[in-house]
């Protein structure tokens, strides 16, 4: 059975997604497969089958299901959004960018909608929306490609639909801040931190919240990530934020040490792991 690390950030742009028991994941997949077999023409059935496959690490199969769905429903932004996510997971950033740009075009002028959770948070309340997820993942794909200018534009758009609650606000703010720091637009980065407070209504994105407090000077890197007690998931989620913090503040040695520590773990599907992997390849 797959490890719990594969559940990290699979359903929503959160730092630590809920971890369902393996048997539950298999049962959910069996139901999604039965629903899809009964009606493969339904875009909802394709989306849930693809998502359930992804939660179990079967990413190529998930991409195939989303692709079949797109062929039948080329105007459904949700299918491009989810396939784009899985292209990020499988390190195909150009394809992810293409899909997520298409999704962003399809939602233009439309009302936003809550996106159902595949791995519900402890409160059982979905926090992300279709549009915020599209912009979040598009910005991420561009960031991972090293196209920080385009990532900035995407995160700016994403911020327009991320103020729906504090979970989405901190998720988008974190990557927007990091993008601005990579572009050396430090004054604008500081402005991103202005709405961030110690007490916020954060249910599932506590790691992003902690990182933002660190950027703001209210938390130390050591308090955000204790390497003596952290597991692979925590190291992947917080390690990249801490490493990137060292990097943009000029301590490349500490940054590289932290990135290497992230890559020594097993949470290979975490966005922090993927970002550390990319930065190490670039020579940071």
Residue 157 and residue 21 share a domain: yes
Tell me, what's the pLDDT at 124? 83
With 0-12 / 13-18 / 19 or more C-beta atoms within 10 angstroms meaning exposed / middle / buried, residue 200 is: middle
CATH value at residue 260: 1.20.58
Both 172 and 225 in one domain: the answer is no
> Which pLDDT belongs to residue 3?
38
Among 201, 235, 256, the domain-final residue is: 201
pLDDT score recorded for residue 20? 62
* % pLDDT > 90, the chain: 84
Residue 16 has pLDDT above 80, yes or no: no
The answer to whether 25 and 6 have CB atoms below 8 angstroms apart is: no
In a domain, 230, yes or no: yes
Asked if 171 and 233 sit in the same domain, the reply is no
Question: pLDDT above 70 covers what percent of the chain?
Answer: 93
What letter would DSSP give residue 4? G
Of how many residues is the chain composed? 284
pLDDT digits (tens, 9 = 90+) for 111-150: 999 999 887 888 888 999 999 999 999 999 999 999 999 9
Whether residues 155 and 266 share a domain: the answer is no
Q: Which domain holds residue 162?
A: 4-201
User: In terms of domains, do 142 and 239 share one?
Assistant: no
**Across the chain, how many H-helices and E-strands are there?**
14, 0
**What was the pLDDT predicted at 15?**
37
pLDDT higher than 60, residue 12: no
- Tell me the pLDDT tens digit for each residue of 201-247: 999 999 999 999 999 999 999 999 988 888 888 899 899 999 999 99
> Domain check: are 239 and 158 in the same one?
no
Question: If you ran DSSP here, which 8-state letter would residue 136 be given?
Answer: H
Looking at the fold, whether 243 and 181 belong to one and the same domain comes out as no
Q: Is residue 19 part of a domain?
A: yes
95 pLDDT above the threshold of 90: yes
Number of domains in the chain: 2
Residues 66 and 121 in one domain: yes
Q: Are residues 83 and 118 in the same domain?
A: yes
Q: Is residue 195 domain-resident?
A: yes
Q: Are residues 181 and 258 in the same domain?
A: no
pLDDT at 52 over 50: yes
Give a yes or no: residue 82 inside a domain: yes
Pair 37, 119 in one domain = yes
What CATH number corresponds to the domain at position 92?
Answer: 1.25.40.10
Residue 184 resides in a domain: yes
8 band by pLDDT with thresholds 50, 70 and 90: very low
Residue 214 lies in a domain: no
Kindly state whether residue 212 falls inside one of the protein's structural domains: no
Q: What is the pLDDT of residue 22?
A: 73
Domain ends where: 171, 201, 231? Answer: 201
Q: How far is CA 230 from CA 197, 264, 283, in A?
A: 24, 13, 26
Check if the beta carbon of residue 61 is closer than 8 Å to that of residue 89: no
Q: Are 159 and 144 within 8 A, CB to CB?
A: no
Per-residue confidence at 19, pLDDT binned at 50, 70, 90? low
The residue from 169, 201, 233 where one domain ends is 201
What is the per-residue pLDDT for 284? Answer: 85
At residue 6 the predicted structure's pLDDT band, cuts being 50, 70 and 90, is very low
Do 136 and 273 lie in one domain? The reply is no
118 in a domain, yes or no?
yes
What pLDDT is recorded for position 123? 85
* Rounded-to-integer distance, Cα 152 and Cα 135, Å: 10
């Amino acid at each position: 059975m797959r490890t719990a690390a594969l559940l990290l950030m699979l359903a929503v742009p959160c730092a630590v997604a809920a971890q369902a028991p393996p048997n539950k994941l298999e049962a959910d997949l069996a139901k999604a497969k039965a629903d899809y077999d009964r009606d493969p023409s339904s875009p909802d059935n394709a989306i849930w089958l693809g998502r359930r496959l992804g939660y179990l690490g079967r990413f190529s199969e998930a991409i195939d299901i989303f692709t079949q769905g797109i062929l039948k429903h080329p105007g459904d932004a949700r299918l491009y959004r989810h396939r784009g996510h899985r292209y990020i997971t499988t390190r195909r950033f150009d394809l992810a960018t293409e899909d997520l740009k298409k999704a962003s075009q399809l939602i233009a002028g439309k009302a936003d909608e809550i996106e159902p959770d595949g791995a519900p948070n402890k409160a059982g309340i979905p926090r992300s929306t279709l549009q915020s997820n599209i912009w979040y993942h598009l910005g991420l794909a561009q960031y991972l490609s090293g196209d920080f200018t385009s990532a900035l534009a995407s995160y700016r758009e994403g911020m327009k639909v991320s103020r729906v609650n504090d979970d989405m606000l901190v998720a988008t703010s974190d990557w927007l801040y990091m993008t601005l720091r990579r572009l050396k637009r430090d004054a604008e980065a500081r402005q991103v931190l202005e709405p961030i407070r110690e007490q916020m209504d954060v249910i599932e994105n506590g790691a992003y919240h902690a990182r933002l407090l660190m950027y703001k000077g209210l938390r130390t890197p050591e308090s955000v990530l204790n390497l003596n007690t952290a597991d692979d998931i925590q190291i992947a989620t917080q390690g990249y934020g801490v490493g990137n913090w060292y990097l943009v503040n000029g301590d490349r040695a500490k940054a590289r040490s932290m990135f290497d520590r992230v890559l020594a773990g097993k949470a290979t599907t975490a966005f922090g792991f993927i970002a550390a992997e990319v930065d190490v390849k670039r020579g940071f």
